A = this chain, B = another copy of it.
């Protein structure tokens, strides 16, 4: 009763040849309706499905898309981005007959070797690359295999000409800076992620542009996304002779840490200091005060990425795309300030 069943068994049971079975099952011509129905019925009844390895070998396609996770225990439990992305990806894959092949790496070099393996063994039809960095070794590798279907989830500036699905970080920076300006803030600080990360770099530039355009004072501190780093950064910023009146944190965890720290130092939020989080989350909603945050549809991104990946895997041309659905959710951690202060 094991999966020892082959197309030949079904052919025999249905009283036809193996090619007839194959044609019937794959909806291809070359078989009469009568035979097709018969075959389909017999196959269904026997519970036969084509062996995936044999099919993959014959098709030269595994119908699976690769994703390499970065195994970082610290952020695992406080970061829902990856999970939401995966949900979006698999939802579309499911409908299109694809699977997500997942592996994890602890460092970039290992990740490169997994990619090499995938390219050499043909284990995946395409792959999705996350967290592209400046002068990323993975990008260098991919340049050697220009035909291999890869989608990069990063700004086009990082993608080096390869297909990318990006966020409108520039537009997001504009949303935040404009909002702060309208509220009367003239000195904004940003507690950013690691300097090497691609999207940090892009956000850095976007913020510089937006703040200088409005003639605002702007400080930026780079961290590792941890709450401890967020705390330290806020301590430094608020001990400046002229502290900022608004702080933008690159993730929700640091934003929450920032609020705690500010309060501990005697600042009222939002009366003395506005805090804004770049990433929205449940924590931003339920915190007291709730946290003004930039929101985007991550599941939707996963879905679009899946569609692009399938197109690429099947050889259809795919253009880079910029998502533009950032919106600022106004909550209680931000508010107006007297510009004359």
**Which A263-315 residues have a C-beta within 8 angstroms of B?**
281-283, 286, 288, 299
A86 beta carbon closer than 8 Å to chain B: yes
A24 to chain B, nearest CB (A): 17
Docked CA distance A217–B277 (Å): 44
A240 beta carbon closer than 8 Å to chain B: no
Docked CA distance A80–B53 (Å): 33
User: Which residues of B sit under 8 angstroms from A86, Cβ to Cβ?
Assistant: 69, 102
State whether A49 touches B103 (Cβ < 8 A): no
A37 beta carbon closer than 8 Å to chain B: no
State whether B73 touches A87 (Cβ < 8 A): yes
A194 beta carbon closer than 8 Å to chain B: no
A70 (CB) vs chain B CBs: closest residue: B87
A104 beta carbon closer than 8 Å to chain B: yes
User: Which residues of B sit under 8 angstroms from A144, Cβ to Cβ?
Assistant: 1
Docked CA distance A123–B86 (Å): 20
State whether A123 touches B105 (Cβ < 8 A): no
A13 beta carbon closer than 8 Å to chain B: no
Bitwise, A33-46 to B at CB < 8 A (1) or not (0) is 00000000000000
State whether A83 touches B82 (Cβ < 8 A): yes
Bitwise, A72-115 to B at CB < 8 A (1) or not (0) is 01001111101110110011011000011111110000000000
A147 beta carbon closer than 8 Å to chain B: yes
A303 to chain B, nearest CB (A): 11
State whether B122 touches A52 (Cβ < 8 A): yes
Interface centre among A49, A53, A78 (most CB of B within 10 A): A53
Docked CA distance A125–B203 (Å): 44
Q: Which of B1, B57, B288 contacts A53 (CB 8 A)?
A: B57
State whether A77 touches B147 (Cβ < 8 A): no
State whether B104 touches A91 (Cβ < 8 A): yes
A228 to chain B, nearest CB (A): 12
Q: Which of B51, B56, B99 contacts A101 (CB 8 A)?
A: B99
Interface centre among A48, A79, A99 (most CB of B within 10 A): A99
Interface centre among A54, A102, A119 (most CB of B within 10 A): A102
A229 to chain B, nearest CB (A): 15
A119 (CB) vs chain B CBs: closest residue: B3
A145 beta carbon closer than 8 Å to chain B: yes
Docked CA distance A57–B286 (Å): 52
State whether B120 touches A104 (Cβ < 8 A): no
A227 (CB) vs chain B CBs: closest residue: B286
Docked CA distance A82–B90 (Å): 14
A72 (CB) vs chain B CBs: closest residue: B87
22 residue pairs of the A-B complex, CB under 8 angstroms, read: A1-B144, A2-B147, A49-B121, A53-B53, A54-B57, A55-B121, A69-B86, A69-B87, A73-B299, A76-B87, A77-B80, A79-B83, A80-B80, A80-B83, A90-B103, A93-B104, A94-B105, A99-B101, A99-B102, A101-B101, A227-B286, A256-B286
Shortest 3 CB-CB contacts between residues of A and residues of B: A53-B56, A49-B120, A90-B104
Give residues in A with beta carbon < 8 Å to B. Answer: 1-3, 5, 47-57, 60, 62, 64, 69, 71, 73, 76-80, 82-84, 86-87, 90-91, 93-94, 99-105, 116-117, 119-123, 144-145, 147, 227, 253, 256-257, 260, 281-283, 286, 288, 299
